[in-house]
Chains A and B, each alone.
Chain A
Amino acid sequence: MKNAVGRDIPEFLLKDGREVYQGKNYMDGKYLQKAAPRTRRYEKPQESKIVDSIVDALKQVGAKSGMTFSFHHHLRNGDFVVNMVMQAAIEEMGLDNITIAATSLGEAHDPVAQYIEDGKVVGIQTSGIRGKIGEVVSAGKLKTPAIIRSHGGRPRAIEAGEVHIDIAVVAAPTSDCVGNCRGIGGKSNCGSLGYAMTDAKYADHVIVVTDCLVDFPNMPASVEAIDVDAVVVVDSIGNPKKIASAAARISQNPRDLMMAENVAKVIASTPYFKEGFSFQTGVGGPSLAANLFLEKYMDERGIKMGWAIGGICGPMVEMLKKGKVGKVIDVQDFDLDAVNSINQTPGHYEMSASQYANPANKGAFVNKLDFVVLAALEIDTGFNVNVLTGSDGVLRGAPGGHPDTAAGSKCCIIVTPLVRGRMATVCKNVVTVTTPGDCVDVLVTDYGIAVNPLRPDLIKCLDDAGLPHVTIESLQEKAYSLVGTPDDLEWEDKVVAVLEARDGTILDVVRKIKPLKL
């Protein structure tokens, strides 16, 4: 059945009331029955919940084959915890039929690919899927199609009971003996623990893994002891060098800077650019550099940013300290400046993934967002964006908060070079739709700006400001004239991944790629 972005969704996926994507805000006003976890009572006072090993913790919470384990990705590519827990469960306890529901998976989790090939891990639910896991899932080796969700779609699915978490594992930079966790104060600091919060509230069991035990009470706690069954102290939960980079540097690439300046010009041309506006940007080259140019326009007009959200990094913290932004609320920190600022710099707060982006709650932060600046692997002439699959059809990306912020914001700007090597970033049809075109408003490339025809108001803003813009079709034609018209990818029937829209409908599927033989 074809959905609202023209993707053919196989019928076998449309059972138990599952629908295809119908367009933005389709679920608005509908009711949701929230699921509740079945949790164990610890009525008798416990002096401490510390157990000797991960296996002991798993035994205590009754880990069995067939269970769903959840993880969060604040330790990013430095994470050791997913691998440690999977090794304990699969190799030491002999469990199988395991589903991993993680907020994101990357190269750090390459060992999990072997468990997939061995048939021990049979389900993957995640936002990011990269490295070897992406390769084996793309090769059709996972028993069930992987489910890819946005950062807002995941807490929605958890709250709706579509994902039932048997055991949530919290990788905690610091914890006390009963499981009050924080992302700071230890040796593997990550700042915000926003993605772990919903998991901890909705999982039947919660295990905290930490490498820095601190005195009780570890306050203010991101994950609270009232939800925690057991605490395990290990030597190291991650490689700090890969958890947070020293400082996200602003690009010096003149092409990135030119695009960033145009992003700032677009923002400054709209009526939303006024005292107290709100903003989110990614950490990619041109997206991050947009901060710099935006500041110039803010000074010129004598206005300040009201608040910023997102994955946060140094340049935004810098603006907070200078008083140019009122509040910064974040779900994840990308560099040490941000890690060291959260809950320390006045006005820098932590939030949960649900508070950030969940479309089924009563109003996430993304819904109040004026501007978001995002990157793309590909964008097609229908303004549909792909940030998941490479041009070879292999899973190697992450929707993250992309679809959530695009849908929630008043003005969503995609910034990307027209071509990358031989790949046309602006194309006729993206490989996979991860953010639907009806949520994307403006495209800024190094060859020109295009505005979504769904937004005549923004077209007028650019015209009034004297900002030249062209059609997205002309950008696509320019791209193809440089790199040649790409052949369509060829697929087998087998579905290897299902891409859920943030509201729970099906936006697209990824099939097994058929390699080209010359």
Chain B
Amino acid sequence: MIIEKSAVAGTLESSDAQVTVEPAENGIELEISSSVMNQYGRQIKATVLETLDRLDVKNGRVTVVDKGALDCTLKARVECAVFRSCGQSDKNLPWGGAVK
């Protein structure tokens, strides 16, 4: 998928994560801040990159403000932000398709 415009998913509530994606040219630029950085920072990074890879996103600026979200939440927020950025969330959501 190609990030066509800026899009956001998620909130800043506890146990959620707010993911912002923006168009960019040279690969993935990832910025993460987290309330559980010291213990889960590496895992958050791995989960976000893995989800982007599954969605076949090659380029984009991705900002994650994590408030202690579980992996499933993080994946859902990344997916939703990417879908919103390329009009995919208007119709034909690929539930369980592009996202395994």
Count residues of chain A with CB under 8 A from any CB of chain B: 17
Q: Determine whether the beta carbon of B68 is less than 8 Å from that of A489.
A: no
Q: Determine whether the beta carbon of A422 is less than 8 Å from that of B32.
A: no
Interface centre among A393, A422, A423, A486 (most CB of B within 10 A): A422
Q: Which of B34-71 contact A (CB under 8 A)?
A: 35-43, 45, 67-71
Q: Determine whether the beta carbon of A489 is less than 8 Å from that of B39.
A: yes
Checking B30, B42, B67, B70 against A483 with a beta-carbon cut-off of 8 angstroms, the contacting residue is: B70
Q: Determine whether the beta carbon of B67 is less than 8 Å from that of A421.
A: yes
List, sorted by A's number, 18 A–B pairs whose CB atoms are closer than 8 Å: A392-B37, A392-B39, A421-B14, A421-B36, A421-B68, A422-B36, A423-B36, A484-B43, A484-B71, A486-B36, A489-B38, A515-B37, A515-B38, A516-B37, A516-B38, A516-B41, A518-B30, A518-B32
Q: Determine whether the beta carbon of B68 is less than 8 Å from that of A423.
A: yes
Residues in B whose Cβ lies below 8 Å from that of A516: 37-38, 41-42
Interface centre among B30, B36, B37, B42 (most CB of A within 10 A): B36
A421 to B45, CA, bound (A): 18
| CB of B2 to closest CB in A, whole Å | 25
A393 to B39, CA, bound (A): 10
B11 at the interface (CB under 8 A from A): no
Q: Determine whether the beta carbon of A513 is less than 8 Å from that of B69.
A: no
Residues in A whose Cβ lies below 8 Å from that of B89: none
Q: Which of A474-509 contact B (CB under 8 A)?
A: 482-484, 486-487, 489-490
A391 at the interface (CB under 8 A from B): yes
Could you tell me which B residues sit within 8 Å of A by CB distance?
A: 14-15, 30, 32, 35-43, 45, 67-71
Could you tell me which A residues sit within 8 Å of B by CB distance?
A: 391-393, 421-423, 482-484, 486-487, 489-490, 513, 515-516, 518
A320 to B36, CA, bound (A): 43
Checking B30, B38, B45, B71 against A392 with a beta-carbon cut-off of 8 angstroms, the contacting residue is: B38
| CB of A50 to closest CB in B, whole Å | 49
The A/B interface has a contact count, at CB < 8 Å, of 54
Q: A518-B32, A518-B45 are in contact. Are A422 and B38 (CB under 8 A)?
A: no
A515 to B45, CA, bound (A): 16
Q: Determine whether the beta carbon of A486 is less than 8 Å from that of B39.
A: yes
Residues in B whose Cβ lies below 8 Å from that of A391: 36, 38-39
Q: Determine whether the beta carbon of B42 is less than 8 Å from that of A518.
A: yes
A127 to B58, CA, bound (A): 52
Q: A421-B15, A422-B15, A518-B45 are in contact. Are A487 and B68 (CB under 8 A)?
A: no
Q: A484-B43, A518-B32, A518-B42 are in contact. Are A422 and B37 (CB under 8 A)?
A: no
Residue of A nearest to B66 (CB): A422
| CB of B26 to closest CB in A, whole Å | 18
Q: Determine whether the beta carbon of B38 is less than 8 Å from that of A393.
A: yes
| CB of B70 to closest CB in A, whole Å | 6
Residues in A whose Cβ lies below 8 Å from that of B69: 422
Residues in B whose Cβ lies below 8 Å from that of A515: 37-38
Residues in B whose Cβ lies below 8 Å from that of A421: 14-15, 35-36, 67-68
Q: A421-B15, A518-B32, A518-B45 are in contact. Are A482 and B70 (CB under 8 A)?
A: yes
A516 to B45, CA, bound (A): 12
| CB of B78 to closest CB in A, whole Å | 16
Residues in B whose Cβ lies below 8 Å from that of A482: 70
Residues in B whose Cβ lies below 8 Å from that of A489: 38-39
Residues in B whose Cβ lies below 8 Å from that of A484: 40, 43, 70-71
Residues in A whose Cβ lies below 8 Å from that of B68: 421-423
Residues in B whose Cβ lies below 8 Å from that of A422: 15, 36, 40, 68-70
| CB of A432 to closest CB in B, whole Å | 14
| CB of B53 to closest CB in A, whole Å | 17
Q: Determine whether the beta carbon of B32 is less than 8 Å from that of A487.
A: no
A466 to B70, CA, bound (A): 34
A513 to B67, CA, bound (A): 20
Residues in A whose Cβ lies below 8 Å from that of B40: 422, 484, 486-487
| CB of B44 to closest CB in A, whole Å | 9
Residues in B whose Cβ lies below 8 Å from that of A423: 36, 39, 68
Residue of A nearest to B67 (CB): A421
